Structure 1
């Protein structure tokens, strides 16, 4: 039939194109495949070869200052994962505004006062947000924080963070999937995985 031939050709072309993007080689005829294999969709998860050893970033001095501390490759940002509590970043200068385009003029600090935002954070169960936090919360208690290399992932204590030259710094709560991605040019309220 004339009407069914274009649909068959289009359907075969779609199956053939799907087969080209599928990394799994099959010996079945392409006309027998009705859906791509499940393995083709699992590549969205981060691979273990991008994880750094979290132990290398951990510093414990007391219950308040224990955490996974890291710095950006440029040295402009310092970040921390506070186990099962929050993850966030602050300018290395630790003073003044955060320096991210689009940040609000003020936020409410821990004392309920209006203050300039100097940090970006995500809690275990909370939404990501700009915040005003003391600089010492981002300073490693002893020594210099280790640099987290570009396109590597620090996964520790319920959080995941990475740094990409294309998108900036990104962190998320592994419990909720909520997170942030930011650079000096702006922030978005979602985690961006490394390429």
Structure 2
């Protein structure tokens, strides 16, 4: 469960050239509605601006799991450092698979405001159907599959299901998009941007 979301603006960071890992999984989230976000000021590579590509789609069936009566689509990054998930028509997100106390992304906020105004350390990044990406605090298992780990999403393959899509690329990191709202994120341990980065059609 997401306990709280960042109210201060998400600071855009530079996504480094080497992705080490990825991961996601998502339960019911209760968040504040006034979380702000800003447009990334720098990124590498260039974020997607047109219709996303379907050239490198993964088989969503390989990532499906029933958790608590809800079907989600869970994956791990090739390095095993990140755990991610797509909850159809609700949200997509990722968290540090090696630590539940912090997210481990350079440039991410050190603290976010909890529901009672308390300061908490974010441990996940998420995008919902509408709005921009947010750093949030999630209670275990968060975006991780239990028992896990989730299946690995190979480099340059796109998991697209339930109105969201995510991919992992060596040059940019993990990226997820809300197809309905158009919001997304791209991140690695070295930084993040508040935009989706598509897999190039000519990628191997």
Normalised by the length of structure 1, the TM-score is 0.72
1:137-195 deviation line (CA, Å, top 9, x unaligned): 22213443100000010001110100000000000100011100000111100000012
* Correspondence for 2:62: 56
* Correspondence for 1:108: 113
CA distance in 2, matches of 1:102, 1:136: 24
* Correspondence for 2:35: none
Aligned residues: 151
Q: Which has the larger radius of gyration?
A: 1
* Correspondence for 1:151: 156
CA distance in 2, matches of 1:165, 1:89: 17
* Correspondence for 2:26: none
* Correspondence for 1:133: 138
Q: Cα–Cα, structure 1 residues 66 and 113, in superposed 2: closer, same or farther, change >3 Å?
A: farther
Q: Cα–Cα, structure 1 residues 187 and 112, in superposed 2: closer, same or farther, change >3 Å?
A: same
RMSD: 1.7
CA distance in 2, matches of 1:161, 1:134: 22
Q: Cα–Cα, structure 1 residues 156 and 104, in superposed 2: closer, same or farther, change >3 Å?
A: same
User: 1:111: how far off?
Assistant: 5.7
Match of 2:175 among 170, 182, 187: 170
CA distance in 2, matches of 1:164, 1:180: 13
Query: Any stretches of 5+ residues in structure 1 without a counterpart?
Result: 1-43
Q: Is the 8 A contact 1:54 1:155 kept in 2?
A: yes
User: 1:48: how far off?
Assistant: 3.3
CA distance in 1, matches of 2:140, 2:52: 31
CA distance in 2, matches of 1:143, 1:106: 28
Query: Any stretches of 5+ residues in structure 2 without a counterpart?
Result: 1-49
| Higher alpha-carbon deviation: 184-193 or 143-152 | 143-152
Task: Point out the structure with the larger helix share.
Answer: 1
1:104-126 deviation line (CA, Å, top 9, x unaligned): 11113456532101111101113
